[in-house]
Structure 1
Amino acid sequence: MKNPRNRFKAALQAGRQQIGLWNTIGGNTVPELLAGCGFDWVVIDTEHSPVEAVEVLPALQAMAAWPEVSPVVRPAFNDPVLIKRILDFGAQTLVLPYIQSAEEARAAVRAVRYPPAGIRGVAGMTRASRYGAVDDYIASANAEICLVLQVETRAALDALDEIAAVEGVDGIFIGPADLAASLGHPGNPGHPEVVTAIEGAITRLKEIGKPSGILTLNEAFARRCMELGTTFTAVGVDLAVLADGVKALRARF
């Protein structure tokens, strides 16, 4: 069999808008449910959640029943050991947090690629290769991996052009919460200085032709970001949706 095509990466390259959702509740039931809700992409988050790397595998297996949605995984850090394991589980798209420089971006690229282009460790019997059933998986894997880097500090914004220009970086994701803290407004991503910085980054990325994305629970701001140029836009978090729904149900009674 052929290596599965990365639908998320293809949509990025085509400039198609993709609407996403964040998964922070562990296990395989919630990822499976979310995968069937009609979103274009769902992030399995192991940075700001109790989800451990080993739990990514059953989540990906559960989501596979819904081929219309692209599973995306956020490792806890730009760590080649974590990245190697998650890629072996079959993840094709990664969002790596807290990238601060072009040097860190190049390290991320090396971590997701097999030699000689990178340092990803080689193993045969993994879910990524469908346990050996994919023809020439090692030769074809690099082309289908999608690497998105998260910029979320003042330093990262200052180095935005250099980070985005690194060969092998497929997109830039802007992290509003950490960016707000870095700019001196912790807990207030709606502060005018933060909003201006985000909008400026989106505009700049569009000018240089690099796909950009964001997560925001503010629907008006999500639409504003899309108008400015984000093409992978996450608009909800499972725990937040659950909390809002439960509170609204209680309020009705």
Structure 2
Amino acid sequence: MPSTTLRERLRDGETVVGTFQLLDSPMAAEMAGEAGLDFTVLDQEHGPLSAETTVAMCAAAQRAGAAPIVRVRTNSEAEIQRALDIGAAGVEIPQIETAGDAAAAVDHARFDPLGSRGLSPYVRASGYTGGPEYTERQNERVTVVVHIEGERGVENLDDIAAVDGIDVLFLGPYDLSQSVGLPGQVDDPRVTDLMDEVCDRAADHDAVVGTYADDPEMARRWIDAGAQYVAVGVDGALLTRAFADVGDAVRE
């Protein structure tokens, strides 16, 4: 397991690479770490993952050295608290459009005095026993990633970036493409220009930018634009393509 947290690595200027996971499999989460990925996003928003499957996936990813980040379904106190209590290294919160949305996400994810996250000292995140340093340690270690997924979020980017406690401004290219009337066309200049604009404006705030990429080429394009936190591919798609490649190679 890395000696520094994902949050510390981002603050030190590192570029970290991960993936998204929709398969409800601890072994798949473990594979992400064994493969050398820095993090894996356990996607409760678009996948079938429950708290029960997610806790096992968190443990498997951590054992193998990948930081488990839970993408919650909504920007709600209960969703964020549960994801962090079961031991996630961070949360991704979808559809952040205003500074108020961003401030609420931070409030849900941080303990007093930085927020109002509900406190039980007897959860997996605390090692089940709590202790006097638990809340301070969580406030220092938890990574808060907010999704900028629509034109309104882009318009309000400067206000969102100014919210204290946000670690990553994550650009969702597919939702952005839909917000400009081009669903799925993530390579269209109207989408990529919008994303480039966010990267430039985020740099003015010294804010960390993250995004999703379908493949390594797309990932390198956004790293060159300034992204530090890049999730490449989705486990189901990667596995399906790998199976197809094997079958095609044998048939040839």
Q: Is the TM value for this pair above 0.5?
A: yes
Provide the residue aligned with 2:151 in structure 1. Answer: 154
Q: Deviations over 1:88-130 (max 9, x none)?
A: 1111211111101000001001101123432211112111100
Which consecutive unaligned segments of at least 5 residues does structure 1 have?
none
The aligned amino acid for 2:208 is P
Q: Deviations over 1:125-151 (max 9, x none)?
A: 111100116552123321222111010
Provide the residue aligned with 1:78 in structure 2. Answer: 75
Say if 1:161 and 1:141 are closer, same or farther in 2 by CA, change over 3 A. same
Say if 1:87 and 1:96 are closer, same or farther in 2 by CA, change over 3 A. same
Residue 6 of structure 1 and its aligned partner are, at CA, apart by 5.8
Q: Deviations over 1:177-200 (max 9, x none)?
A: 000000110121111100111111
Provide the residue aligned with 1:108 in structure 2. Answer: 105
Residue 220 of structure 1 and its aligned partner are, at CA, apart by 2.5
Q: 1:28 aligns with which of 21, 26, 29?
A: 26
Is contact 1:53–1:75 with CA below 8 Å preserved after alignment?
Answer: no
Q: 2:233 aligns with which of 225, 233, 236?
A: 236
Residue 27 of structure 1 and its aligned partner are, at CA, apart by 2.6
CA RMSD of superposed structures (Å): 1.6
Provide the residue aligned with 2:11 in structure 1. Answer: 13
Is contact 1:96–1:149 with CA below 8 Å preserved after alignment?
Answer: yes
Aligned pairs, how many? 249
Provide the residue aligned with 2:193 in structure 1. Answer: 196
Provide the residue aligned with 1:226 in structure 2. Answer: 223
TM-score by length of 1: 0.93
1:164 aligns with 2:158: no
234-243 or 133-142, which deviates more? 133-142
Residue 247 of structure 1 and its aligned partner are, at CA, apart by 1.2
* Identity fraction in percent: 31
The aligned amino acid for 2:105 is A
Provide the residue aligned with 1:215 in structure 2. Answer: 212
Q: C-alpha distance in 2, partners of 1:74/1:5?
A: 24
Equivalent residue of 1:11, what SS? helix
The aligned amino acid for 2:68 is P
Say if 1:37 and 1:71 are closer, same or farther in 2 by CA, change over 3 A. same
Q: Deviations over 1:142-191 (max 9, x none)?
A: 12221110101000000011111101111100000000000110121111
Q: C-alpha distance in 2, partners of 1:249/1:19?
A: 25
